[in-house]
Amino acid sequence: MLFRRCCSGSSSRRAAAAPPSPSLPPSLPLSPPTQRSGIRCFATFRHNICTNDWIAFPGVERRKRPQQMRPEVGMDKSKIPQWSANCPFCKGNEGQLPAKLLTLRASDHDPTCAPKDDFELYVLPNKFPVVAPSNCIADESLQYPFAASIMSMECNELVDCLNTARARGKLLLEATGFHEVVVDHPSHNLPIGHTTPVYWEMLFKAFRDRGLLLTTSPLIQSLLCFKNVGMFGGASMVHPHSQIIGLPIVPNQQLKLTDTAREYFQTNGRCLFCDYIKLELKEEVRIVELDSQFIAVVPFAAHIPYQILLLPLRHNYQFLSIDDDTLRALGRILHRVFQRINRALGDVDYNLVLRTAHLHRTRNQVYNPSCYYHWHVEIFPRLDSWPVAGFEFGSGIMCNAHMPEDDAKKLIEAGCD
């Protein structure tokens, strides 16, 4: 059974015990799930009932992932080699990897690409996942037999269990889902100033194509695509890579974002993000890049210095629906944005997050998210370690010592090709 109660069976001693606290009724399952139908459960989500957040506990297997990021490496990127014998993502070390799930080549996306500039991007299962398919064991190759598992009766039963858990306020469920790695580039050390428009186009094409496939599973409720770069960015590997995660839950942060947009639409009859774009276009001072399809700004209330918010000018709630022409335009503006970041800040560590609408498979919908949500990309340059201390933890309010208008001015003045 996927979910277990805190106590099973009964005895006179249990019956005589004091009643549990009202905040922890006996129906709440606090014991971790065990082996089910021959499947090793090595990861769980636990629900914080005080904050309404889900916390992932990946288990012991994820602790075994390689850790290439050390302070002495992260501080001087110029000394990082272009190839490493110890890196499983470097050319010639492919024998250490599971089978590829998707392969893209630069010359297929840019006919003018010279042979010396051609490169391959590929996607593979994460060997040390936060979540994993329900029929996979962590120390195996993590291949995805979609026809046999993902669309099987077992998966449908799992979805029913998840839906029941949400309805009953369960505290713990198996961390089932998909976790993939995108190996962006063959070079072990790729400074942000060396990325190209086709590089970003291919990365987001991988996000789209794999996301379309993963979300065919009825299990998946939300999709998370992101890129961590450098020690301050939380990357465990030096080699450029990104990640795609299909989750069986909708994280509270994503719910808050979409609920805010929905409430604005209910009150005003318009998309919150579309109105925000109009505000930035009117004031102009925080616009870093603008073309016929996208706008990139330092947000009016940026969380951290030099944060970038990139939105499509045309309303679209679902990133997975964009076409190849839009991907090319996205690659071009991301290239220009990162050129500005590189010229203004140097080869800085950063995080990139794609935010698209979750799938709303288990929530009653008064309005379709296509009306009120707007997919977007956020870039968080990491000038130092994450600036969170007592004030931020205690209040939930980020404290940004930089004015967004000043940051935007510096990025604009830095220029790009």
Contact at 8 Å (CB) between 246 and 133?
no
User: Would you call 247 helix, strand, or coil by DSSP?
Assistant: strand
Q: Are strands 172-174 and 222-229 parallel, antiparallel or unpaired?
A: unpaired
At 170 the pLDDT is: 60
Per-residue pLDDT of the chain (417 residues; tens, 9 = 90+): 333 333 333 333 334 444 333 333 333 333 333 333 333 445 777 776 666 677 777 765 555 555 554 444 445 677 788 899 889 999 888 787 889 999 999 999 998 888 888 999 999 999 888 888 864 333 333 344 332 333 343 445 555 655 555 555 566 777 889 999 999 999 998 888 889 999 999 999 999 999 999 999 888 999 999 999 888 887 778 899 999 999 988 888 898 999 999 999 999 999 999 999 999 999 999 999 999 999 999 999 999 999 999 999 999 999 999 999 999 999 999 999 999 999 999 999 999 999 999 886 545 555 688 999 999 999 999 987 666 778 777 887 888 889 999 999 999 999 998
At 146 the pLDDT is: 34
Task: Tell me the backbone φ, ψ of residue 172, rounded to 5 degrees.
Answer: -145, 135
Q: Catalogue all structural domains in the chain, each as residue range(s) with its CATH number.
A: 252-414 (3.30.428.10)
Contact at 8 Å (CB) between 262 and 360?
no
At 207 the pLDDT is: 98
Q: In the structure encoding, which two tokens stand for residue 7, read together?
A: 């106590």
Kindly give, in sequence order, each residue whose CB lies less than 8 Å from that of residue 119, ignoring residues fewer than 6 positions away: 105, 106, 185, 186, 187
Quickly list DSSP for 240-300: -EEEEEEESS--HHHHHHHHHHHHHHHHHSS-HHHHHHHHHHHH-TTEEEE-SSEEEE--T
Kindly give, in sequence order, each residue whose CB lies less than 8 Å from that of residue 95, ignoring residues fewer than 6 positions away: none
As a whole number of angstroms, the distance between CA 315 and CA 368 comes to 14
At 171 the pLDDT is: 66
Q: Which residues are annotated as a binding site for Zn(2+)?
A: 87, 90, 188, 239
**What are the residue numbers of the active site?**
241
Residue 20: CB atoms within 10 A of its CB come to: 13
At 72 the pLDDT is: 40
Contact at 8 Å (CB) between 216 and 361?
no
User: Would you call 379 helix, strand, or coil by DSSP?
Assistant: strand
At 63 the pLDDT is: 54
At 350 the pLDDT is: 94
